[in-house]
Amino acid sequence: MIVCVAVVGHQNNPLYLQSFTEADDALKLHHVVHCSLDVIDERVNNPKRNAPTLNETFLGLLYPTENYKVYGYLTNTKVKFLMVTTDLDVKDADARNFFRKFHAAYVDAVSNPFHVPGKKIASRSFGARVSTIVKSFGSGTTV
Amino acid sequence: MGREVAGSCLDGVVMEMVSAYCGRFYAAKPELAAGRIEAIGFQVGHQLSERYTMDRPRFTDHLEAIKFICKDFWSELFKKQIDNLKTNHRGTFVLQDNCFPWLTHVSLDPSMESTDATESDPALLGDTAAQTTSMLLYFPCGIIRGALTNLGIPCAVSADMSNLPACSFVVRIKT
């Protein structure tokens, strides 16, 4: 199950942050998200030579903790997408698929002429679309 | 090359936008109009670059990003690629388009230049015609700047038209 998703701008400014848990642990999840940003920076600035995934947008597993796993995605425009999940074995393909849909939703949201670049995404339809994507994660269905 | 109706509509919108800004909103201050048109282009480029770079790996250097603008971005916008790319390898790129679609319908009236015997100053007339045409190029300049800025490359873009409909865009990357 995905417990939290985030979109972070190129200056590490939060653009969208949403948790999907009933319990009151939003702060903890946000902390995990912020810690993962450092991991992204590290990955991008010190890339492993000859790695096949050198410039891929999908960054893979970033930050495993006891309870959570954080996956990351970095676009060409230096926007970071993060996903915190409690699932123990996440298939890479599933995570990739999730980020692809998430990215598509983001692109549609920022293409709104009333959206101000660099500001938080306030669109309700974006929120609803992300919820749908999150709910369908891992269930094998397509949105 | 066949043209879609939507393509002709877009040409019309661009021309009309330029003329509205130059002739009505900022008739007295052409430099303000230029800034405004460039800003609209900037936003368009900013948003389009987000969409068009969706399914590709990240760029490693400036040249790769410029090549993306010349090839994929230009084909998405104009169904053609930039014809010639020159660079001095020190942050200046010249993108030359031999037949820029938004200038294909523009023609400087040759009778204006030939009837120089009339009372008005022909140099002045030719000058305003060129000025009006150059206004059309602020929008694509803004698009290029918006796209590159969104890709993490702050730059200044200027346009230069020598003989219609060819024109070139000069990109100077700020360091």
Residue ranges in chain B modelled with pLDDT below 50: 113-120
pLDDT category, A143, cuts 50, 70, 90? very low
| Interchain pair B58, A56: CB under 8 A | yes
Q: Which two tokens stand for residue A90?
A: 């996440």
Query: Which bin fits B48, alpha (ψ -120 to 50), beta or left (φ > 0)?
Result: alpha
All residues of chain B having their beta carbon less than 8 Å from the beta carbon of residue A76 are 49, 53, 56, 58-59, 151
Summarised one tens digit per residue, pLDDT across range B103-126 is 887 776 655 544 444 444 555 555
Edge-first strand order for the sheet with A2-8 is A14-19, A2-8, A80-85, A69-74, A58-64
Q: Does B53 touch chain A (CB under 8 A)?
A: yes
Closest chain B residue by Cα to residue A116? B43
Residue A53: pLDDT above 60?
Answer: no
Q: Which two tokens stand for residue B52?
A: 């068009």
Q: Does B47 touch chain A (CB under 8 A)?
A: yes
pLDDT over 70, % of chain A: 90
Closest chain B residue by Cα to residue A9? B150
Separation of alpha carbons B88 and B93, rounded Å? 7
Asked if residue B76 lies in contact with residue B150, where contact means CB atoms within 8 angstroms, the answer is: no
Q: E strands within chain B?
A: 84-87, 92-97, 155-160, 167-173
- CA B147 distance to own-chain centroid: 13
Report pLDDT for B140: 92
Asked if residue A44 lies in contact with residue A74, where contact means CB atoms within 8 angstroms, the answer is: yes
Residues whose CB falls within 8 Å of the CB of residue A41, separated by 6 or more in sequence, listed in order:
none
Report pLDDT for B117: 43
All residues of chain B having their beta carbon less than 8 Å from the beta carbon of residue A57 are 57-58
Domain span holding position B121: 5-173
Q: Which two tokens stand for residue B161?
A: 């038209």
| Interchain pair B50, A111: CB under 8 A | yes
| Interchain pair A75, B47: CB under 8 A | no
Whether ipTM exceeds 0.90: no
Q: Quote the mean pLDDT of chain A.
A: 83
CB atoms within 10 A of CB B11: 16
Query: Which bin fits B89, alpha (ψ -120 to 50), beta or left (φ > 0)?
Result: left
Asked if residue A79 lies in contact with residue A15, where contact means CB atoms within 8 angstroms, the answer is: yes
Lowest mean pLDDT among A49-63, A66-80, A81-95: A49-63
Q: What is the mean pLDDT of residues A109-133?
A: 89
Check residue B101 and report its DSSP letter.
Answer: G
Quick one: CA dihedral B40, B45, B46, B48, positive or negative? positive
Domain ranges for chain A: 2-136
To the question of domain A2-136 being in CATH 3.30.450.70, the answer is: yes
Q: What is the mean pLDDT of residues A40-49?
A: 76
- Which CATH number goes with the domain that contains B68? 3.30.1380.20
All residues of chain A having their beta carbon less than 8 Å from the beta carbon of residue B43 are 113, 117
* Closest alpha carbon to B94 in B158, B171, B157, B175: B171
